[in-house]
Structure 1
Amino acid sequence: MRKRWKWIIYASSIVALVASASFTIYCAWKVYAYHQPGEREINEHENNAYHFVLVPEELDNDYWRLVEKGAKAAAKETGVHLEYVGPRQANIDEHIHILEKAAASKVDGIMTQGLTEKEFTPVINRIIEKNIPVVTIDTDAPTSKRTAYIGTDNYYAGFIAGKALAEDTHGKANVAIITGSLTASHQKLRVQGFKDAVKNEKGIRIIAIEESNITRIQAAEKAYSILKKHPEVNAFYGTSALDAIGIAKVIEQFHREKETYIIGFDTLPETIHYLRKGTIHATVVQEPYEMGYQAVKAMVDIIKGNDVPSVTNTETKVIRKQDLPLRPARNYEVKHD
């Protein structure tokens, strides 16, 4: 009986050993097969080889969400890995730090604004010297070595805003300008374009220019202060996406909707709301979705060695209440989760 049990145990051990060896050989084959991609897998890897970074002026901004939306759509089409990273709120030092960090990580391409010539031009030049292409969007850095610019002609945008105000007020208005930044190049261009458009209008006077730091709250505070100091002001021009919104809140607080003209920038949901109500009379429309979309497409072409225009201006126009709704909706509407 004892001898029989020994044979049973011996046989079981042999079976277990054979099974273990077979399993080991099978697993080894699977690992080998897994690490030997076919032609299709190799092509898919190559199509996803590019790593781009999009650095906006600020993350919590519906305008930049539209830029992100367009960039992601193009990234999906081209098989690009896209990162969207930037300051929570506009901050030049943080913005530059993020650009430098992206360059240090040796990404394939960087898309960003050229907010101020003094700070951004040297940074962009250093990135280019590392053989990383830079495409500026929304705001150009024309004196830098940037590879291409895709976005609004900001001087022209300010100019058509001035012409629209002159037309809508019949050339008679005491105007206050609230700008997102007194130093950012795109904001300065929008102010200068506006000034040049109205300079020959004898009935239009620019009473004050104040800075909002691209916030609704400060735009409202500056509008309130202007109306207290200069009650004769009967028209406002806001040069950033949030300025007209802050101005509109104050105008309604003062119950001056019928006697005060407002022209702003962009098509944020609140802007459209005030446009429908008639508190805001006009707004300059940009194409942030197209900026993001075309920037990614251009960056792919640049890396592949294809020719890309140095400057590509996206469409800019002035709209009023009667022009609503805007189409295509993808260019102007942000859906929040």
Structure 2
Amino acid sequence: MKKWVKSLGVVAMAASMIIASGCGGEKSSGGSSEKEGNDLEGKTISVVLKTLSSPYWKYVEAGAKAAGKELGVEVNVVGPASESQVIEQVNMIEDQINQSPGALVVSPTQPSTVVPSLEQATQQGIPVLLIDTDAELKDKTTFIGTENFTAGQEAGKLLASMLNKGDEVALISGALGNTATDERIKGAKKALEDAGMKVVAEQPADSDKSKAMSVMENILQNNKNIKGVFAANDDMALGVLRAVEAKGMKIPVIGTDGTVEAVESIIAGKLAGTIAQSPYDMGYLGVENAIKAIKGEKVEKRIDSGIDVITKENAQEKLEFLKSITKE
């Protein structure tokens, strides 16, 4: 079953549980519901993302807010204007800690930079849950996401399946020090080289569409035999596509994240594919497990939110799901 279908199942199940508890409030089970309500009374879950400016993080935000609404807890989602604003993210984390949330859900842009702040939270008894990107945090509650190296490998395999042994390829990475995009690039590079491809260019574009277009234009000036490109997120993949189309070239470009714009591009026969990492589920599961942590319930140390390979064959189904979760 597709991951986004599972997502709807998770949401529907949560909603049905809430309805059931509401309908049975005057019955003998009401005492249990009242106790759970007291556990969460006055509690806020703070969610600090890498940014709120890209579709991927909007899906994470949507999942987190849906979980808060359906499971009965206030959720506050913040993030800097771009993924390159690492210090701004640190400041946001510290600001949220100062507000004494019930739990803190964070996707660290540069894990080593934010760990000291996160340690402050754990020392104060605030559960810290990491999503999308892991960090060496001793007392974290859990990591929720996918292995970015594995996602990159899947992208590399997909791109290699569209090429011939010996073809030259380019890799477009995110902001320097962003471990999520760095790991995606490492995974893609290994898969491509294992399949006999030649990686002739590897450049960062800060997860920015316009910068990726400029970077790709420069790469094509120096490498005229590029046969395929992997970009570590969809915004960069779309920027790469603009540069490729401007040159009148028709080569496969693979992205990562599974955003609406990317999926629509795949349906239109432009982008060749994207690797979806279920950002909506990451947000939802982050809040769901934060509630468990607040209540003192057991939370698994690692929770896999899954990977989907999106191509023209299944893009329409994915698009319908994405549009359903972003409706107001």
**TM-score interval, normalised by the smaller of the two chains:** 0.7 to 0.9
Deviation per CA, 1:97-126, whole angstroms, max 9, x where unpaired? 000011111111111113223202222222
Residues 296, 330 of structure 1: CA spacing in aligned structure 2 closer, same or farther, 3 A cutoff? Answer: farther
Q: Distance in 1 between matches of 2:318 and 2:195?
A: 33
Match of 2:13 in 1: none
Q: Distance in 2 between matches of 1:316 and 1:335?
A: 20
Match of 1:29 in 2: none
Counterpart mapping for 1:62-101 below 5 A: 62-90=55-83, 91-101=85-95
Q: Any conservation in 2 of the 1:160–1:317 contact (CA below 8 Å)? A: no
Q: Which amino acid aligns with 1:313?
A: D
2:209 corresponds to 1:216: yes
2:114 corresponds to 1:112: no
Q: Which amino acid aligns with 1:59?
A: L
Q: CA deviation at 1:334?
A: 6.1
Residues 313, 41 of structure 1: CA spacing in aligned structure 2 closer, same or farther, 3 A cutoff? Answer: closer
Identity %: 26
Q: Using CA pairs below 8 Å that are at least 6 residues apart, which structure has the higher relative contact order?
A: 2
Q: Any conservation in 2 of the 1:267–1:332 contact (CA below 8 Å)? A: no
Q: CA deviation at 1:48?
A: 4.2
Match of 2:12 in 1: none
Q: Distance in 1 between matches of 2:220 and 2:263?
A: 24
Q: CA deviation at 1:144?
A: 4.3
Q: Distance in 2 between matches of 1:283 and 1:141?
A: 25
Q: CA deviation at 1:130?
A: 1.3
2:129 corresponds to 1:135: yes
Q: Distance in 2 between matches of 1:273 and 1:138?
A: 24
Q: CA deviation at 1:94?
A: 0.3
Q: Distance in 2 between matches of 1:334 and 1:262?
A: 26
Q: CA RMSD in A?
A: 2.2
Worse-matched range after superposition: 319-328 or 185-194: 319-328
Q: Any conservation in 1 of the 2:52–2:82 contact (CA below 8 Å)? A: yes
Q: CA deviation at 1:270?
A: 2.2
Match of 1:187 in 2: 181
Deviation per CA, 1:158-212, whole angstroms, max 9, x where unpaired? 111111111121434211111112311111111111122123333x100111111
Match of 1:60 in 2: 53
Worse-matched range after superposition: 291-300 or 272-281: 272-281
Q: Which amino acid aligns with 1:145?
A: D
Match of 2:270 in 1: 279
Aligned counterpart for 1:305 among listed residues 289, 296, 302:
296
Q: Distance in 1 between matches of 2:227 and 2:91?
A: 42
Counterpart mapping for 1:130-169 below 5 A: 130-169=124-163
* The structure with more radius of gyration: 1
Alignment gaps of 5+ in structure 2: 1-30
